Structure 1
Amino acid sequence: MVDTTPPDGETLREIAARHNRAYDTLRAQWSRHPDWPAPIGKRGRSYVYDPAAVDAAIAAHFTRGTAAFEPGRLYTAREISELTGISAATIRSDVSRNRWPAPDDTSQMANRWTGTTITTALTGRRHDPRTAGSA
């Protein structure tokens, strides 16, 4: 007798939803990475993947580590970049587009943000692992 039970696992759309990412990002970029796990079967026309293997690949290659910022300390965009992997240019660009908070201190040559402000800004970012499901 042929087993017709679909394999346990998740489709790329389900993985994208669980990790709060666009399906096209997973389909066109992440799933083409050499370390992306092989499918464990199919559900309808979609491949399914082992969630634990997917989570391991995402943690290893597609998420930034969580940096600990001292709440009252002031950080420059360059220091934030070194601790988070978000480029200083991206931070400056996001400030001008109101996607990153205004600096807490502008009295020096470089704008600076407190650790509390940075932590709040990172929590709201799409790429932050603390808000991206189980990764």
Structure 2
Amino acid sequence: MGDISQKDSAHTVRDPLFDGRGIDHVGIRYHDLKKAVGWFRDTIGLPVDHETRTMALVRVGADGSHLALFQAEGDEPLRQPHHVALRVPDTAAAEVALRTAGVPLRRFGPNWGFQDPEGNVFHFMPSR
């Protein structure tokens, strides 16, 4: 696999958006969410910080990073990871910088996101 660098990219963001604040969460879809939550909680011993019928946040880091577990819809293929959420100091500035660089953005709930050249999905979360 080739290395993708900024000079090779069709789009280049000139101002640093990601200042080492890290990953907020990685989203993973499951056909049986309840079973996945139980496995991470009971077998691995990770705390579940938030849980609904369709998603759960499992804490994996002291910095507040999580696995975001989602219930898959029907028999949809489980392309993994579903998405990676990047912490940024200013989500609005990140949106403007990527739009200015010509990167197509799409909404993920209240957040903006984008795809890398291989189609992997990323979105922004405000730093904590």
TM-score range, shorter chain: under 0.3
Normalising by structure 1, what TM-score?
0.22
Name which one, 1 or 2, has greater alpha-carbon Rg: 1
